[in-house]
């Protein structure tokens, strides 16, 4: 990795760290020898010294146990005395070896072996009990004590693995001599027990022969590996009178065999064996003390070298820290200020500028000033980046405002044209008697209503409010039916029974638009033979409306992505136009304070749940809601709701009109005056639905003005004939649409459905 990819702070830290590591390595190389020496001294005090009397006590108890087993008249006094001495030595060893100093000086392996030895010592009663009950032979009793002593030798062997080669070799040689001393103790116990019993078994004779060969081999093998003085001392010991007499006694026992009786007394054997063992042990202890004493001046020299090495290294490190302190502090301040500006101040300023707010950039995101050296140049470069980002944010905000203004202008113009178109269609519907022509006019009226909703999508995306508003509350059922009237295939929509409730007038336009988008989505993504169900009910937090289709549905990932878009109304980008419906619904829901959630339907399709908050939900209105209409297109929206209240919108079947007048009233939008009166301007009385909405009665076309000629009643047609004609026309239209669904391209400009 090149230096250009490493920060200045890291480079300084790397240099200082390298210097510290070099100093630490030199200090450790000097300290390690001293630590080893000190560790030897600590282990000698906490493990070696308390284990020496412990081994001697265990050897004495082992010999006393075999004597007790071999005696014809058993005296427990000597046995109990040796056991008391053993228990005292065990307590001292356990207390000393469990201290933290011993664990720190030793290794993990030595600590594990020490714990194993402690466990064996705590189970010493299991070895003593068979001896007390005289249910064990002498060889087995000897083996039980030997296992405990061997575990102590394993501890010694692990503690001798030190880094200093001379100390490690000397320690290993002394342990081998100590092992020979232990083997001599084993043969002493075996012979003493056999002489006490007056016989030696074949197994004991074979074991004795092996022990003799073992300790002699250990002494001969260890001697050449000792230092010159130690070799001389060991040679003098093994060639002395005591060892000569011991070898003669050993040869007598071996030559006598398992069936013979050696010409040897217990007193002669014990005196000679004990003297030889004491001589070997004294030599070992003397050499061990000399080893520890020789380590003291070595440790002192190591400490002096350590002080010199660490002192010089510390001085160099301190000088390096002083030299880099100012550099690091300036770097930290630059990093902190630049980071705060980049992650906090600058994003906040850009976000506010993007929303079109006026921001004092100099006060909110001041320039960085660090002089004219390298740090200052970095600060100046960052200032340039900041100015460029702010300039880009301002330009982006201006572009967004221009685009929104363009969208809003186009939408307003389209709204005006659609409004005029609906007005002309209303006049034409009033003056037309032919049922087929009325049906075509209704289709055109319905297309214009959908065009108006699509034009309002642009208004929603720009953040402007809808021009259609209500002063009074509207029943939610009428809001749903009004939304159904704004979709193409409204005959497939089934409005199920809904709980009575009203919606605040300020929310009617947006709620109708939102529900129309969801219903359009359900129709677009379900087979043309399946219905889309709409239902609603009051809940604890407001009023919930569900739109359920029976299409192919969406996979879990698609549902999660769609719900995420619905929860982010401000995330729309021009590149996201394929999902325009999602953002329209999200914007409308955010404006209403409602929540929209998509979930899997039990029929395999998708269910959209819209939760209107409690502050928008009122009691179901019973008055004429059209009195609250206002705005340039209030007339067409009011009767769009009325037009949705036909049987076809509720059941999914073709509408059945009782008469020409009823068809014109229920399916055709018409102009509504701002304050309705009991009698229409032309003298024809208006009807009122069960929810309070106006219901006009068509009149026949007149050749002259209503004010010039008296009203002449128009002859009525047969309602059954009109119903049959309209039903047949709609059935043929549905069949034609179904047959050409694969080839026909809809050109009415409907918005992208929610699930697209």
| Model confidence pLDDT, tens digit, residues 528-539 | 889 999 999 999
Average pLDDT score over the chain = 75
Name which of 221, 107, 85 is nearest 155 in CA terms: 107
Residue ranges per structural domain of the chain = 46-259+266-298, 467-739
SS3 493: strand
Confidence of residue 9 (pLDDT cuts 50, 70, 90): low
Amino acid 377: pLDDT: 81
Give pTM, 2 decimals.
Answer: 0.43
Percent of the chain with pLDDT over 90: 22
In angstroms, the CA 671 to CA 445 distance is 13
Q: For the residues 351-361, what does the mean pLDDT come to?
A: 70
Residue 695 contacts residue 624 (beta carbons within 8 Å):
no
Task: Write down the residue that tokens 């093998």 correspond to.
Answer: 221
Confidence of residue 735 (pLDDT cuts 50, 70, 90): low
Task: Write down the residue that tokens 């034609």 correspond to.
Answer: 736
pLDDT at 686 over 70: no
Amino acid 538: pLDDT: 92
pLDDT at 287 over 90: no
pLDDT at 655 over 60: no
SS3 551: coil
Confidence of residue 333 (pLDDT cuts 50, 70, 90): confident
DSSP-derived secondary structure letter, 678:
S
CATH for 467-739, options being 3.40.50.280, 3.30.1330.10, 3.10.350.10, 3.30.565.10: 3.30.565.10
Amino acid 299: pLDDT: 65
In angstroms, the CA 330 to CA 325 distance is 9
Q: For the residues 488-496, what does the mean pLDDT come to?
A: 89
> What are the tens digits of pLDDT across the range 509-525?
889 989 998 998 889 88
Task: Indicate the helix (H) or strand (E) that contains 316.
Answer: helix 266-340
Comparing 15-24, 354-363, 419-428, 665-674, which segment has the lowest mean pLDDT? 665-674
Who contacts 468 (Cβ-Cβ below 8 Å, separation ≥6)? 509, 631, 633, 634, 637
Who contacts 320 (Cβ-Cβ below 8 Å, separation ≥6)? 15, 16, 19
- Number of neighbours of residue 451 by Cβ within 10 angstroms: 19
Dmax over Cα atoms in the chain, in whole Å? 166
Q: Tokens for 305, please give them.
A: 């070298």
Residue 677 or 227, more confident: 227
> What are the tens digits of pLDDT across the range 461-484?
766 666 677 788 999 999 999 899
Most confident of 231-245, 561-575, 658-672: 231-245
Residue 178 or 451, more confident: 178
In angstroms, the CA 182 to CA 116 distance is 20
> What are the tens digits of pLDDT across the range 555-567?
889 889 888 888 8
> What are the tens digits of pLDDT across the range 629-650?
333 333 334 434 334 333 333 3
Task: Indicate the helix (H) or strand (E) that contains 286.
Answer: helix 266-340
pLDDT at 2 over 60: no
Q: For the residues 720-726, what does the mean pLDDT come to?
A: 66
SS3 246: helix
- Number of neighbours of residue 18 by Cβ within 10 angstroms: 11
* Exposure letters 663-683 (e unless 16+ CB within 10 A, then b): bbbbbbbbebeeebeeebeee
Percent of the chain with pLDDT over 70: 73
pLDDT at 285 over 70: yes
Amino acid 5: pLDDT: 59
Where are the alpha helices (H) located in 160-240, listed in sequence order? 165-197, 202-222, 228-238
């Amino acid at each position: 990795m090149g230096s250009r990819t490493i920060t200045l702070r890291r480079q300084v830290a790397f240099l200082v760290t390298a210097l510290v590591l070099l100093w630490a390595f030199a200090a450790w190389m000097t300290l390690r020898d001293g630590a080893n020496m000190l560790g030897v001294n600590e282990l000698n005090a906490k493990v070696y010294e308390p284990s020496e009397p412990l081994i001697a006590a265990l050897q004495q108890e082992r010999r006393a146990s075999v004597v007790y087993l071999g005696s014809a008249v058993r005296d427990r006094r000597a046995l109990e005395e040796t056991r008391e001495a053993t228990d005292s030595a065990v307590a001292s060893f356990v207390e000393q070896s469990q201290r933290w100093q011993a664990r720190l000086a030793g290794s993990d392996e030595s600590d594990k072996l020490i714990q194993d030895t402690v466990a064996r010592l705590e189970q010493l009663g299991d070895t003593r009990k068979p001896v007390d009950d005289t249910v064990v032979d002498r060889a087995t009793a000897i083996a039980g004590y030997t296992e405990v002593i061997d575990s102590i030798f394993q501890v010694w062997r692990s503690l001798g693995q030190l880094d200093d080669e001379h100390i490690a070799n000397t320690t290993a040689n002394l342990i081998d001599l100590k092992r020979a001393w232990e083997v001599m103790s084993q043969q002493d116990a075996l012979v003493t027990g056999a002489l006490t019993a007056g016989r030696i078994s074949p197994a004991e004779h074979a074991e004795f022969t092996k022990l003799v060969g073992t300790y002699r081999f250990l002494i001969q093998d260890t001697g050449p590996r000792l230092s010159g003085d130690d070799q001389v001392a060991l040679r003098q010991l093994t060639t002395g009178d005591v060892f000569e007499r011991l070898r003669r006694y050993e040869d007598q026992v071996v030559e006598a065999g398992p069936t013979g009786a050696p010409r040897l007394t217990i007193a002669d054997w014990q005196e000679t064996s004990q003297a030889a063992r004491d001589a070997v042990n004294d030599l070992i202890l003397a050499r061990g003390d000399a080893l520890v004493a020789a380590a003291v001046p070595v440790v002192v020299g190591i400490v002096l070298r350590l002080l010199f090495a660490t002192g010089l290294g510390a001085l160099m490190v301190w000088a390096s820290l002083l030299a880099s302190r100012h550099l690091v502090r300036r770097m930290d301040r630059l990093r902190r200020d630049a980071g705060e500006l980049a992650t906090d101040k600058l994003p906040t300023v850009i976000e506010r500028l993007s929303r079109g707010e006026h921001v004092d950039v100099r006060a909110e995101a001041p320039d960085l000033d660090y002089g004219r050296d390298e740090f200052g140049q970095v600060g100046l470069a960052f200032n340039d980046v900041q100015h460029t980002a702010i300039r880009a944010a301002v330009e982006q905000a201006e572009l967004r405002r221009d685009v929104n203004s363009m969208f809003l202008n186009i939408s307003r113009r389209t709204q005006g044209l659609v409004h005029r178109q609906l007005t002309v269609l209303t006049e034409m519907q009033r003056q037309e008697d032919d049922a087929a022509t009325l049906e075509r006019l209704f289709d055109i009226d319905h297309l214009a209503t959908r065009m108006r909703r699509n034009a309002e999508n642009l208004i929603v995306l720009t953040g402007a409010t809808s021009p259609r508003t209500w002063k009074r509350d509207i029943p939610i059922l009428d809001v749903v039916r009004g939304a159904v009237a704004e979709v193409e295939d409204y005959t497939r929509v089934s409005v199920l029974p809904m709980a009575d409730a009203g919606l605040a007038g300020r929310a009617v336009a947006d709620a109708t638009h939102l529900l129309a988008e969801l219903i359009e989505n359900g129709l677009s993504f379900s087979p043309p033979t399946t219905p889309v169900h709409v239902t609603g009910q009051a809940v604890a937090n407001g009023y919930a409306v569900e739109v359920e289709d029976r299409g192919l549905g969406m996979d879990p990932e698609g549902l999660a992505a769609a719900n995420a878009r619905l929860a982010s109304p401000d995330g729309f980008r021009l590149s996201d136009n394929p999902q325009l419906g999602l953002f329209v619904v999200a914007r409308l829901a955010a404006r209403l304070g409602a929540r929209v959630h998509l979930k899997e339907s039990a029929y395999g399709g998708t269910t959209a749940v819209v939760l209107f908050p409690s502050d928008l939900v009122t009691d179901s209105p019973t008055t004429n809601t059209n009195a609250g209409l206002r705005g340039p297109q209030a007339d067409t929206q009011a009767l769009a709701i009325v037009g949705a209240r036909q049987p076809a919108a509720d059941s999914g079947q073709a509408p059945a009109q009782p008469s020409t007048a009823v068809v014109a009233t229920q399916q055709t939008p018409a102009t509504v005056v701002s304050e309705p009166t009991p009698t229409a301007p032309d003298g024809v009385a208006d009807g009122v639905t069960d929810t309070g909405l106006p219901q006009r009665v068509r009149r026949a076309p007149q050749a002259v003005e209503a004010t010039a000629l008296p009203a002449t009643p128009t002859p009525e047609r047969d309602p059954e004939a009109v119903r049959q004609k309209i039903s047949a026309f709609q059935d043929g239209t549905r069949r034609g649409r179904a047959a050409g669904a694969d080839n026909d391209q809809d050109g009415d400009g409907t918005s992208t459905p929610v699930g697209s």
